[in-house]
Amino acid sequence: MASSTSPALSGLVRDQLHSPSPIRQIMKMAERANILAMGLDPDQVISFGGGWVNHAAPDAFRQAYIDIVSDAATFHQSGGYTATLGDLACREQIARFEAHLFGMPRLGPEHIAVGMGSTQLTKDLFTTLVDSGDTVMLLDPTYANYEGQLKFVAPNVKIVRLPVLDPATWTYRPVSDPEGTARDFLRLFDEHRPSLVLFGAPDNPTSQIVPQALAELMRERTAAAGAWLAIDYAYKCQYFETPPAYYAWSPADHPHVIGIHSNSKWARGLGRRLGWIEAAAPVIEGLERVLQCSILCPDTLEQMAMARYLAGAIDDGSLRRYVDDTNTRYREAARVTLEAIDTFIGRRRLTPAGGLYTVMDVGRDAEAFVPEALKATGVLVVPGRGFGPSIAHGVRISYGPLVTTPDRITEGLKRLGAWMPA
């Protein structure tokens, strides 16, 4: 007789189902069915919730795909496996990409592992570096997905957060209080002894870039303690100021420093999954073993197109022109966003140094504010708590999806301001 008891999911998954990703929560809130259930017209909803870009990929990049799929032999080749770490030609062109755009010295294909986007690679990097019971230092606030990824990899991981946003003044502390932030970093590091320190540059959700002095302090302290320093460069090409010197740090010179990279943002390849890790040989060797058990190898077609595009775009200078033009577009979208907040809402916000976002103080618990605002105005923003306790009364506003429609940015924030109390 068959048992009536259903098999159970793993305890880890059951635990994480009770702690869902705030990114997934906001995506569900934005689904058409949910919008209709709230009595709203989906065509009238303006969403600042998406963490994605909306500029066009380079025409030459698209042409690389056309050339591959138009030739039967080349398309056949794109259906084969590459090495687990990625095709050598792709890794060579990525090294050229970093040297061309950011002046990174002595980076070679041996320092690069290609994967199916930075999300997959970050989780596999955590598997490579973090043991159960280890401590990891993150910023407060920072990207909401790190904590869940760490807990899937090492359920007993301890997370300590370095406060970088002051909720009392709504300022970015590494800039407004560099000495205090440095003291806090050293105190927390010495007290908790993390095996890994991780920050984004620019960071999500603040779009701030950690100053060179703080990054230097982190590099020196982690090196002295035998710890890892990882920098998430998902938005590396979205910068509005002169890039800091650490954008050129190479694992050949700093073997404990690791870079996490994505094709999603700069080339608008969100659904064409490709990312890479830059690290010293021991990390790449360890990551290769992990990748053999997670993806086996990255997507061959994506690597072929990437290598073909970069080879030509670096040589003819179009890569630099494309990145510069894209930055101009997002800098203007950021300007429109800040102007609309100041004109129609009048709440405290950060000025982006790059990236796709600003964070705005709404003066109360944002978890309750967001669904109320959506129902009342048809405008969707992201509650801050999932990024860290410092912005529990703040929301993330993304201008990335609206970069080509700045009038929608203004309209959405005007609606929000008309509803919000002064």
Are residues 221 and 345 both part of a single domain? no
CB 192 within 8 A of CB 160: yes
Same domain, 147 and 183: yes
Residue 5, in any domain of the structure: no
Which pLDDT score, from 0 to 100, does residue 22 have? 66
Burial state string for 292-323 with b = 16 or more CB within 10 A and e = fewer than 16: eeebebbbbbbbbbbbbbbeebbeeeebeebb
The tens digit of pLDDT for each residue in 102-144 reads: 999 899 999 999 999 999 999 999 999 999 999 999 999 999 9
339 and 385 part of one domain: yes
Write down which residue in 316, 344, 375 finishes a domain. 316
- Main-chain phi, psi angles of 365, to 5 degrees: -60, 120
275 is a domain residue: yes
Considering the domain architecture, whether residues 34 and 68 belong to the same structural domain is answered as no
Domain count of the fold of the chain: 2
Which pLDDT tens digit goes with each residue over 27-42?
777 778 888 887 888 8
In this prediction, residue 15 carries a pLDDT of: 85
300 and 413 together in one domain = no
The confidence score (pLDDT) of residue 421 equals 79
Q: Both 330 and 308 in a single domain?
A: no
Residues 10, 271: Cα–Cα separation, whole Å: 29
pLDDT at position 3 is 55
Domain span at residue 192?
A: 64-316
Q: Is residue 4 domain-resident?
A: no
pLDDT of residue 72: 98
Q: Are residues 258 and 332 in the same domain?
A: no
- Model confidence, pTM: 0.95
pLDDT for 34? 80
Query: Does residue 70 sit in the same domain as residue 157?
Result: yes
Using a pLDDT cut of 70, give the percent of the chain over it.
97
Q: What residues form DSSP beta bridges with 159?
A: 136
Q: Where are the beta strands (DSSP E) in 120-268?
A: 135-140, 158-163, 165-166, 171-172, 196-200, 228-232, 257-262
Q: Which two tokens stand for residue 378?
A: 């048809």
- The CATH number assigned to the domain holding 228 equals 3.40.640.10
Whole-angstrom distance, CA of residue 136 vs CA of residue 193: 9
Evaluate the CA torsion angle 96, 102, 106, 112 in order and state its sign.
negative
In terms of residues, how long is the chain? 422
Q: Pick out the chain residues at pLDDT < 70.
A: 1-4, 20, 22-26, 422
